[in-house]
């Protein structure tokens, strides 16, 4: 059986920026044959990077982190967010969850795959629709 997982931005950021429990993310990634995410995640990752650089002026190696994002996104299958926006909107309206977070649930639902998330609220909503692994 091929193991496939959808990974959300919070989990990618945890791994790339070596936040608490990043090693648990690494363990899961290594078990999967394929990791899928959304194009939205790339934009969100760069926004997180901007925030880290801005707030931690001089304490973050910008080039190294950009290279990490580029490397990670080169091995992840990236799907177009627009393809899942209608289902995500339905989830958002029904559950009161942001459209951004709902997009990852909609992707996992459409692919019939598990979602790896480090967002508690997204995980709590996601389990109503799909299998979710919450990585604190």
Q: pLDDT tens for the chain, 136 residues: list them.
A: 458 899 999 999 999 989 999 999 999 988 888 999 999 999 999 999 888 888 877 677 778 888 888 888 888 999 999 999 999 999 999 999 999 999 999 999 999 999 999 999 999 999 999 999 999 9
- Given this model, what pLDDT does residue 113 score? 95
- Given this model, what pLDDT does residue 58 score? 65
Q: Which parts of 34-81 are beta strand (E)?
A: 34-38, 77-79
Cα 25 to chain center, whole Å? 11
pTM: 0.90
Residues 103 and 119: beta-carbon distance below 8 Å: no
- Given this model, what pLDDT does residue 61 score? 78
CATH number at residue 28: 3.40.50.1010
Residues 126 and 132: beta-carbon distance below 8 Å: yes
The strand order across the sheet containing 114-117 reads 77-79, 34-38, 4-7, 114-117, 132-134
Q: Which residue has the tokens 């992707």?
A: 107
* Other CB atoms within 10 Å distance of the CB of residue 70: 10
d(CA 10, CA 93) in angstroms, rounded, equals 21
> What's the domain count of the chain?
1
- Given this model, what pLDDT does residue 30 score? 87
d(CA 87, CA 101) in angstroms, rounded, equals 12
> What is the domain range of residue 51?
4-134
- Given this model, what pLDDT does residue 121 score? 98
């Amino acid at each position: 059986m091929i193991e496939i997982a959808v990974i959300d931005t919070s989990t990618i950021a945890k791994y790339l920026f070596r936040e608490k429990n990043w090693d648990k993310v690494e363990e899961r990634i290594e078990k999967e044959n394929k990791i899928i995410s959304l194009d939205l995640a790339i934009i969100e990752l760069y926004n997180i990077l901007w925030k880290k650089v801005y707030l931690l002026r001089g304490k973050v190696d910008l080039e190294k982190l950009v290279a990490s994002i580029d490397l990670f996104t080169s091995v992840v299958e990236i799907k177009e967010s627009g393809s899942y926006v209608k289902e995500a909107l339905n989830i958002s309206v029904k559950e009161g969850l942001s459209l951004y977070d709902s997009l990852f649930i909609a992707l996992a639902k459409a692919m019939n795959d598990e979602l790896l998330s480090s967002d508690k609220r997204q995980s709590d909503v996601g389990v109503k629709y799909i299998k979710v692994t919450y990585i604190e």
